[in-house]
């Protein structure tokens, strides 16, 4: 096994402005300190530890000290800002408007607007970055996600339930986990759900977009390899827990300046345990969606659908552009077959047996393409041979012939980083307890219980006095 790449001599840039073009030139160093399964032994990542040393930390710590210990002479003003104790844990909140959205921020978190940054919003929530003093006394950068209309309908509510369940279950240093889950609401008026995670860096989507916008490559060959390795390392853990992520895409991957990667957003993830519910087609973002999810295994696809997404991401890292940017499902399928070829007789027979002759006929109605030579297709980017080999094994139409995560992590392309004893599996299968249909009110009750019973990690933000409860 080759050793991890050596550290660069570049000065460390700890606090980045979000709009800067990222320069993940710091060493893609292998991370060895895997947090154990026990929450009490959770370790923050090295980048955050470095941040703690940064001089801004001093400033923030001083402010925190002033707020919690010294009389400021402005107590009346503070009283006006903080709410009365509320929510299931009787915490006090400051309501701060960011990007026209009101965020309830608990006591102990930095609520100074100049330190708060809007990170983005998707269909299910809006996310801000701020900092908080944690239970271990350190101040960390954190991301607060306010769920968008969490109980709008049963589908939405179940998604929120899954996400907060998984954020508590996952313990792996390439996977985001919850530092805090709260609501400022009382049970009879429960509307808003907030999830706090560590700030995991900049989304790969933004890095790739800025590479394109500025026409300047910031991800080197070595970064690309380290990113792919970390995605696969995280998936090894996720798949071993019988979970499919189902929404792997650059926007759900965050990268620190040290090139440490975190998988974000488990809203679409689901367990493979319960076979009594059908899987849905409209799960993955289209561009990263596998052909079997688009067509022939609509309700029975497996975690190999995630491996397809890894193939799409790997090719995008190599070229800088999305591999299959289809405008609709048909165009998506067409783009896939133009590169990967149309299903062969063997796959068509499987499709017919697993589905129907009608499905086989639909597939056959598409124009037939031959699989292209990947080396030729990507030759302009001078890829290493073993990267092309890995992409070829990931982008296989028949999921039964696609490379599994266990095989992928042993692929020669990743040998430089491979360290089997540092590539943990989950120690149990995660049961999300979400298979029975529920009304949106029942899901709301289930989420309420999760918040009430949530046990914060040692490093979680803590309100003063909470430890005594």
Ligand X SMILES: Nc1ncnc2c1ncn2[C@@H]1O[C@H](COP(=O)(O)OP(=O)(O)OP(=O)(O)O)[C@@H](O)[C@H]1O
Token pair of 466 as six digits: 């909470």
CB of 221 closer than 8 Å to CB of 22: no
> Closer CB to ligand X, residue 175 or residue 314?
175
Angle between helical axes of 154-169 and 440-453 (0-180°, round to 10): 20
Tell me the C-alpha distance between 10 and 26, whole Å.
6
> Closer CB to ligand X, residue 124 or residue 378?
124
CB of 174 to ligand X, least distance (A): 13
Lay out the site mask for ligand X across 267-296 (x = CB under 6 A, - = otherwise). x-----------------------------
The helix or strand, by DSSP H or E, that contains position 347, with its residue range, turns out to be helix 345-354
Phi, psi of 264 (to 5 degrees): -105, 165
Strand pairing category for 270-271 and 243-244: antiparallel
Question: Which of 27, 120, 320, 341 touches ligand X by CB under 6 A?
Answer: 120
Tell me which stretch binds ligand X (CB under 6 A): 90-98, 122-130, 374-382, 403-411.
122-130
Active site residue ranges? 247
Tell me the C-alpha distance between 425 and 383, whole Å.
30
DSSP assignment string, 254-323: EE-TT--EEE---TT-EESS-TTS---SS-S-GGG--HHHHTTTTTT--THHHHHHHHHHHHHHHHSS-S
Token pair of 185 as six digits: 């609401």
> Closer CB to ligand X, residue 200 or residue 409?
200
Question: Which of 22, 184, 251, 291 touches ligand X by CB under 6 A?
Answer: 251
Tell me the C-alpha to C-alpha distance, in Å, between residue 318 and each of 40, 139, 288, 382. Answer: 39, 36, 15, 9
> Closer CB to ligand X, residue 123 or residue 278?
123
Question: Which of 96, 111, 127, 314 touches ligand X by CB under 6 A?
Answer: 127
Is there binding between residue 387 and ligand X (CB under 6 A)?
no
CB of 124 to ligand X, least distance (A): 4
CB of 197 to ligand X, least distance (A): 4
> Closer CB to ligand X, residue 170 or residue 403?
170
CB of 251 to ligand X, least distance (A): 5
Query: Looking only at residues 421 through 450 of this chain, which bind ligand X when binding is defined by CB under 6 A?
Result: none
Burial (CB count within 10 angstroms: exposed 0-12, middle 13-18, buried 19+), residue 40: exposed
DSSP assignment string, 35-47: --SSGGG----HH
- Enter the DSSP assignment of 147: E
Query: Looking only at residues 193 through 212 of this chain, which bind ligand X when binding is defined by CB under 6 A?
Result: 197, 199-200, 203
Tell me the C-alpha distance between 343 and 359, whole Å.
13
CB of 188 to ligand X, least distance (A): 27
CB of 423 to ligand X, least distance (A): 23
> Closer CB to ligand X, residue 22 or residue 383?
22
Radius of gyration from C-alpha coordinates of the chain = 23
Is there binding between residue 264 and ligand X (CB under 6 A)?
yes
> Closer CB to ligand X, residue 60 or residue 264?
264
| Residue found under tokens 């009594």 | 276
The helix or strand, by DSSP H or E, that contains position 192, with its residue range, turns out to be none
The Cβ of residue 285 has, within 10 Å, a number of other Cβ atoms equal to 17
Ranges of H-type helices in 356-439: 357-364, 374-377, 385-394, 405-408
Is there binding between residue 234 and ligand X (CB under 6 A)?
no
Lay out the site mask for ligand X across 130-159 (x = CB under 6 A, - = otherwise). -------------x-x--------------
- Enter the DSSP assignment of 455: P
CB of 181 closer than 8 Å to CB of 164: yes
CB of 275 to ligand X, least distance (A): 26
274 among annotated binding-site residues: no
> Closer CB to ligand X, residue 143 or residue 294?
143
Burial (CB count within 10 angstroms: exposed 0-12, middle 13-18, buried 19+), residue 103: buried
CB of 144 to ligand X, least distance (A): 9
Token pair of 83 as six digits: 């709410």
Nearest residue to ligand X by CB is 122
Question: Which of 265, 292, 316, 423 touches ligand X by CB under 6 A?
Answer: 265
Token pair of 244 as six digits: 């499919």
Question: Which of 88, 125, 311, 343 touches ligand X by CB under 6 A?
Answer: 125
Binding residues for ligand X (CB under 6 A): 119-125, 127, 143, 145, 176, 197, 199-200, 203, 251, 254, 264-265, 267
Binding residues for ATP: 146
Mark the binding-site residues, compressed into ranges: 146
């Amino acid at each position: 096994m080759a050793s991890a790449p050596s550290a660069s001599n570049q000065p460390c840039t700890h606090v980045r402005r979000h709009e800067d073009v990222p320069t993940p030139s710091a060493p893609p160093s292998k991370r060895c300190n895997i947090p154990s399964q026990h929450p009490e032994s959770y370790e923050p990542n090295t980048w955050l530890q470095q941040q703690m040393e940064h001089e801004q930390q001093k400033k923030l710590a001083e402010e925190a000290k002033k707020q919690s210990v010294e009389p400021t002479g402005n107590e009346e003003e503070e009283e006006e800002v903080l709410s009365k104790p509320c929510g299931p844990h009787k915490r006090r909140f400051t309501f701060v408007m960011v990007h026209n959205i009101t965020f309830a921020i608990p006591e102990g978190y930095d609520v100074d607007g100049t330190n708060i940054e809007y990170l983005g919003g998707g269909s299910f929530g809006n996310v801000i970055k701020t900092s908080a003093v944690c239970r271990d006394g350190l101040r960390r950068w954190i991301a607060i996600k306010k769920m968008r209309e969490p109980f709008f309908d049963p589908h939405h509510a179940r998604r929120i339930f899954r996400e907060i369940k998984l954020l508590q279950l996952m313990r792996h240093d390439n996977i985001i986990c919850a530092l805090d889950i709260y609501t400022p609401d009382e049970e009879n008026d429960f509307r808003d759900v907030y999830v706090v995670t560590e700030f995991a860096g900049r989304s790969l989507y933004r890095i790739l977009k800025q590479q394109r916008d500025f026409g300047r490559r910031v991800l080197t060959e070595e970064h690309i390899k380290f990113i792919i390795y970390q995605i696969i390392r995280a998936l090894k853990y996720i798949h071993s827990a019988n979970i499919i992520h189902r929404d792997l895409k650059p926007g759900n991957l965050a990268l620190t300046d040290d090139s440490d990667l975190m998988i974000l957003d488990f809203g679409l993830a689901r367990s493979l345990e319960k076979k009594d519910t059908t899987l849905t087609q409209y799960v993955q973002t289209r561009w990263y969606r596998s052909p079997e999810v688009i067509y022939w295994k609509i309700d029975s696809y497996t975690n190999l659908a995630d491996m397809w997404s890894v193939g799409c991401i790997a090719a995008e890292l190599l070229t800088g552009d999305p591999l299959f940017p289809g405008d609709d499902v048909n165009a998506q399928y067409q783009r896939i077959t133009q590169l990967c070829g149309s299903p062969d007789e063997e796959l068509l027979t499987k499709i017919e047996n697993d589905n129907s002759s009608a499905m086989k006929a639909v597939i056959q109605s598409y124009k037939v393409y031959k699989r292209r030579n990947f080396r030729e297709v990507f030759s302009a980017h001078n890829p290493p041979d073993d990267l092309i080999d890995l992409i070829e094994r990931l982008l296989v139409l028949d999921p039964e012939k696609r490379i599994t995560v266990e095989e992928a992590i042993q692929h020669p392309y990743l040998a430089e980083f491979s360290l089997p004893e540092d590539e943990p599996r989950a120690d149990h299968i995660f049961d999300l307890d979400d298979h029975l249909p529920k009304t949106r009110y029942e899901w709301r009750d289930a989420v309420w219980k999760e918040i009430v019973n949530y046990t914060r990690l040692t490093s979680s933000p803590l309100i003063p006095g909470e430890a005594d409860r």
